Amino acid sequence: MTINPSPKIIAIGTALPESVVTNADLSARFNDDKFNSFLEIAGVSERRALKPGQSAGDLAVCAANAALDAAKIDRNEVDAIIYRTQTPEFRIPATACIMQDRLGLSAKAMTFDMSQGCGSFIPELATSASLLATGVARNILAIHSDAFSQIFNPMDRELAPLHGDGATAILYQQGAENDAIAIDWFEFGVDGKQYEHIVVPEGMSRRPMRPESLIEETFENGSVRAPYQLKMNGAAVFHFVVHTIPPFIRNACAAHNTPLENYDLVLFHQANKMMISMLYGMLKIPKEKQFYFIEGTGNMSGVTLPFMLSEALKAGRVRSGSRVLLCGFGAGLSWGAVSLRWQSTPCATPPTSVLK
Amino acid sequence: MDPNLAILTQVASDILGRYDLELTPETRISTVKGWDSVALVKILLTLETQLGVEFETYDIPNIQTVGDVVKMMEKAQA
């Protein structure tokens, strides 16, 4: 599917918590050799975590203010707020509504939340582009914020090394022919049978919260976790990704006649460094077209892809006319990719804000 | 020794860098030094390449023992 006319991105704001969790902190916490080898493979040196009393919404406000200020847009002109997260402020209401108030945005804005995990930037971009193309919205603020530090057990050996908290905010407007992201195609995939590989098992409708939901269990691999906390089977997810994503990308490029070798940059959701290296290798993507952004932040779930896009813009790796392929994958299990040519309009990418 | 167990032992030895492994179907993976989730993925991917098969991702969370991996190998080769 293609979208015409395409949107333009006028600003991307990014935010990280001030508090850092280093590998030394984790090594001291877990204190064994097995764990240290896992740290190396993850490719993460440090990750950020909210302090007690802070929320993913606070991070989101930082990123959104950065984007709104850089764009110099009248806040009353923002007529759609999309909030993408798996760590909402509350179960009810949608956090997008709370953002309307905290950011001083229009009381006439359309608001909704999206929860799609690590691959969610792709459907969000498709949604934003569609809303603009149909005229439903003219100025969309799409905020992405996740604080996984609040939902996994600190003694979870698979999750604690990988994940970091972060937020981004993108301002979209309708583009004109030579002044927009030229989107070639979107492609998506889903396998709901595999949902249990990344899941918070208890606390919602399928298995409501009960006293037993809070009881921690120590598993054979040494991880500690309660049923209300995030659970991931890393081996299953890894296996799934390396078997699913390369043929998905090859087939999409073939179907749309956009050869992989024609891209200037290929961005993958930064699940862990070993996995990403393997994907690049399997797709024979040369070094100059690769981009890693996990070492200083960890896997920030659905925040990762737009954060990477901002960093790639700042580093000059994405410029006017650059052909870029972005691919996300994660909870659901779900995955998606977008092929685009970057716009000629400058996109403001202010320095990353820090939530103190 | 079961041929699949022999193949698995060889692959696990290479990946774990240990040639003193004595694996039986009853061996619990959590008791094998160095065999964490990353090693498991490497072992499974290597077995797939060597045997020319593809395992079902869905079966992976159920792996607790060496025997569970051998059963996956048998299922994939059937």
Q: Of A272, A299, A327, A347, which one is the catalytic site residue?
A: A299
pLDDT of residue A34: 61
Considering its fold, how many domains does chain B have in total? 1
- Structural domains of chain A sorted by starting position, each given as residue range(s) with its CATH number in brackets: 7-174 (3.40.47.10), 183-345 (3.40.47.10)
Q: Would the pLDDT of A5 be above 90?
A: no
pLDDT of residue A177: 73
Q: Are A317 and A288 in contact (CB under 8 A)?
A: no
Instruction: Give the largest CA-CA distance in chain B.
Output: 31
Q: Would the pLDDT of A171 be above 80?
A: yes
Chain centroid to Cα A231, Å, comes to 18
Q: Would the pLDDT of A68 be above 80?
A: yes
Cβ-based neighbour number of residue B72 at 10 Å? 22
Q: Of A144, A163, A197, A269, which one is the catalytic site residue?
A: A269
B38/A41 Cβ within 8 A: yes
pLDDT average per 10 residues of sequence, chain B (78 residues): 94 93 94 90 95 95 96 95
A233/B58 Cβ within 8 A: no
Domain that holds residue B48: 3-77
Portion of chain A with pLDDT greater than 70, in percent = 97
**Residue A269 annotated to the active site:** yes
Beta carbon pairs, A and B, within 8 Å = 56
Q: Would the pLDDT of A179 be above 90?
A: no
* pLDDT single digits (tens) A130-149: 999 999 999 999 999 999 99
- Cα(A326)–Cα(A81) distance, integer angstroms: 23
Q: Would the pLDDT of A2 be above 80?
A: no
Residue of B38, B37, B55, B43 whose CA lies nearest to B14: B43
Q: In the structure, what pLDDT confidence band is assigned to residue A176 with cuts at 50, 70 and 90?
A: confident
Cβ-based neighbour number of residue B52 at 10 Å? 8
A234/B34 Cβ within 8 A: no
- Which residue does chain A place closest to B65, by CA atoms? A220
**CATH number, domain with residue B50:** 1.10.1200.10
- Cα(A77)–Cα(A137) distance, integer angstroms: 10
- Which residue does chain A place closest to B28, by CA atoms? A220
Q: Which residues of chain B lie closer than 8 angstroms to A277, CB-CB?
A: none
A242/B45 Cβ within 8 A: yes
Portion of chain A with pLDDT greater than 90, in percent = 89
* pLDDT single digits (tens) A317-335: 999 999 999 999 999 999 9
Q: Would the pLDDT of A221 be above 90?
A: no
A233/B60 Cβ within 8 A: yes
pLDDT of residue A40: 75
**CA of A274, closest CA in chain B: separation in Å?**
9
Q: Would the pLDDT of A217 be above 90?
A: yes
Q: Would the pLDDT of A1 be above 60?
A: no
**CA of B29, closest CA in chain A: separation in Å?**
9
B55/A34 Cβ within 8 A: no
**Residue A233 annotated to the active site:** no
- Which residue does chain A place closest to B59, by CA atoms? A236
**Residue A31 annotated to the active site:** no
Please tell me which of the candidates A158, A220, A239 has its beta carbon nearest to residue B30: A220
- Cα(A294)–Cα(A44) distance, integer angstroms: 6
Q: In the structure, what pLDDT confidence band is assigned to residue A38 with cuts at 50, 70 and 90?
A: confident
- Cα(A164)–Cα(A75) distance, integer angstroms: 30
Q: Which residues of chain A lie closer than 8 angstroms to B33, CB-CB?
A: 34
Residue of A239, A308, A326, A324 whose CA lies nearest to A274: A239
Burial A318-351 (b: 16+ CB within 10 A, else e): beeebbbbbbbbbbbbbbbbbbbbbbebebbbbe
Q: Of A62, A65, A118, A253, which one is the catalytic site residue?
A: A118
Please tell me which of the candidates A158, A193, A194 has its beta carbon nearest to residue B37: A158
Residue of A53, A51, A17, A23 whose CA lies nearest to A35: A23
Q: In the structure, what pLDDT confidence band is assigned to residue A6 with cuts at 50, 70 and 90?
A: confident
* pLDDT single digits (tens) A280-298: 999 999 999 999 999 999 9
> What integer is the mean pLDDT of A199-206?
97
Chain centroid to Cα A328, Å, comes to 8
